[in-house]
Amino acid sequence: MKTALITGVTGQDGAYLSAFLLDKGYAVHGMRPYAPLDDTANIRSVMDHDHFTLHTGDLTDSGSLMRCLADIAPDEIYNLGAISHVKESFHAPEAALNVNGGGTLKLLEAIRTLNMTDAVRFYQASSSELFGNAPAPQNEHTPFDPCSPYAASKLYAYAITKNYRNAYGLHAANGILFNHESPLRGEEFVTRKITRGIAAILAGKQDHLTLGNLDAKRDWGHARDYVHGMWLMLQQDTPDDYVLATGQARSVRDFVETACAHAGITLEWRGSGLDETGIDTKTGHTLIRIDEKFYRPHEVTHLCGDAAKARDTLGWTPDIGFKALVTDMMNADMAANGVDLSHRNDDNTDHVYTLYAAE
Ligand code: NAP
Ligand code: GDD
């Protein structure tokens, strides 16, 4: 039985990857930092699996990494742990560097110190944020242009991973992943904020949704497809770096419109800039407002990936398209908010949103 260690196991990708590897017959060891409150909601479905073990460890703490590695002796390590919110990294840039950059170095050094270099394969969660505002489409040859402390910290992690591959022969791969989402996506990321917000409005729990830059474009895929790509990278004889992407970019505005359409709402945009609003054409209610505080000091405006190398070498292509992604997220958030669209009453525009809520 193969053994895998996943850092950042309680995050979106950690949860999907755990389920994927358990399904493949791996023994999965997940690492998460000490948390005073229960942070295992995402991995509840795998926690009781006989071959899943949860460890406390921190990427900023070499001793905990060494102990985890020595105890587990993994065949594969997936380094997903990170401070992953780009906007937050502007507020705490040193923390981003210490966890995302320094943490990766500490993990690589632990592998080397424990003489595990020839025994393990290492996946580094690199990011399309490395490309910043380099012209789209971006692929493995596109020059990096990091536009945030998060991206700068991930650039260090990318480089040091490559360095351990070249200097010490470690089987190490950088997955340069474009945005991928799911019902388990953190609530502070824009896609989940939108699907949760619309579901809460439909349930009568929230009046409107406030967003930042509606025109930023991202290449959004489904996390389920992307964890498969991570695994494929570690099954190759020769380690390398790969972009994973759908090749289709959509704006935040497109995402909002698609999510609303799923709930039968047609939006009309009025005004511009910070005064722009999104109005429900049926009810006249203002559903979307803009606030400057959700903009970043330096915006990344257009990420769209070219994953030809992953397709040709790994045989990886994403199965879940944009509309299916939005549908999956909307259905999960509507169910969580008790919204049942069959309760809709199109003739009644008074308190229309509470009418969607199931009894
Ligand atoms: P996520 O949901 O934010 O999960 C990140 C995980 O890292 C959380 O479980 C977090 O634990 C953990 N973590 C934070 N600080 C840590 C520390 N000091 N030591 C150990 N673990 C720590 O992120 P995700 O979306 O699953 O993404 C997984 C990885 O892929 C991240 O490295 C991210 O930067 C990268 N990535 C993501 C995307 C994407 O679109 N999702 C795209 C490209 C790259 P707590 O919650 O307890 O803090
Ligand atoms: N979070 C957020 N909240 N973003 C907003 C909002 C808002 O209210 N309004 C507009 N946006 C815009 C952001 O300005 C950005 O251009 C875009 O929506 C996507 O933002 P996020 O969902 O926060 O993701 P991200 O692209 O910055 O970063 C994610 O993807 C990276 C890969 O490209 C994260 O998962 C990173 O960890 C990952 O590396």
pLDDT in tens, 38-94: 899 999 999 999 999 999 999 999 999 999 999 999 999 999 999 999 999 999 999
Kindly indicate the confidence band of residue 342, based on its pLDDT and cuts at 50, 70 and 90: confident
**pLDDT confidence of residue 259:** 98
Residue 359: pLDDT above 50? no
49 CA → ligand 2 middle, Å: 33
Name the pairing type of β-strands 171-177 and 209-211: unpaired
**pLDDT confidence of residue 351:** 45
CA distance 17 to 228: 8
Residue listed under structure tokens 């780009």: 86
Query: Mean pLDDT across the stretch 148-172?
Result: 98
The 3-state DSSP class for residue 35 equals: coil
**pLDDT confidence of residue 185:** 98
**pLDDT confidence of residue 341:** 81
Query: Mean pLDDT across the stretch 90-114?
Result: 98
Give strand pairing partners of 55: 31
Give 344's contacts (C-beta < 8 A, 6+ positions apart).
264, 355, 356
Q: What is the pTM of this model?
A: 0.97
Average pLDDT, the chain: 95
Residue 343: pLDDT above 50? yes
Residue 238: pLDDT above 70? yes
CA distance 343 to 354: 10
User: What's the count of helices (H) and strands (E) in the chain, helices before strands?
Assistant: 12, 15
Query: Mean pLDDT across the stretch 285-307?
Result: 97
Is the minimum distance from the CB of 127 to ligand 2 under 6 angstroms? yes
**pLDDT confidence of residue 352:** 57
CA distance 73 to 42: 25
The 3-state DSSP class for residue 268 equals: strand
Contact between residue 145 and residue 138 where contact means Cβ atoms under 8 Å apart: no
Residue 353: pLDDT above 70? no
189 CA → ligand 2 middle, Å: 6
Residue 184: pLDDT above 90? yes
Is the minimum distance from the CB of 156 to ligand 2 under 6 angstroms? no
Is the minimum distance from the CB of 211 to ligand 2 under 6 angstroms? yes
Q: Is the dihedral of CA 24, 26, 31, 35 positive or negative?
A: positive
Contact between residue 152 and residue 144 where contact means Cβ atoms under 8 Å apart: no
Name residue 206's amino acid: Q
**pLDDT confidence of residue 346:** 56
CA distance 210 to 289: 5
Give strand pairing partners of 270: 277
CA-nearest residue, atom 20 of ligand 2: 190
3-state SS string over 161-226? HHHHHHHHCCEEEEEEECCEECCCCCCCCHHHHHHHHHHHHHCCCCCCEEECCCCCEECCEEHHHH
∠ Cα 357 264 207 (to 5°): 55
Is the minimum distance from the CB of 7 to ligand 1 under 6 angstroms? yes
Is the minimum distance from the CB of 196 to ligand 2 under 6 angstroms? no
Query: Mean pLDDT across the stretch 104-112?
Result: 98
Residue 354: pLDDT above 80? no
Is the minimum distance from the CB of 129 to ligand 2 under 6 angstroms? yes
pLDDT above 70 covers a percentage of the chain that reads 95
Is the minimum distance from the CB of 90 to ligand 2 under 6 angstroms? no
Query: Mean pLDDT across the stretch 312-334?
Result: 98
Kindly indicate the confidence band of residue 348, based on its pLDDT and cuts at 50, 70 and 90: very low
125 CA → ligand 1 middle, Å: 9
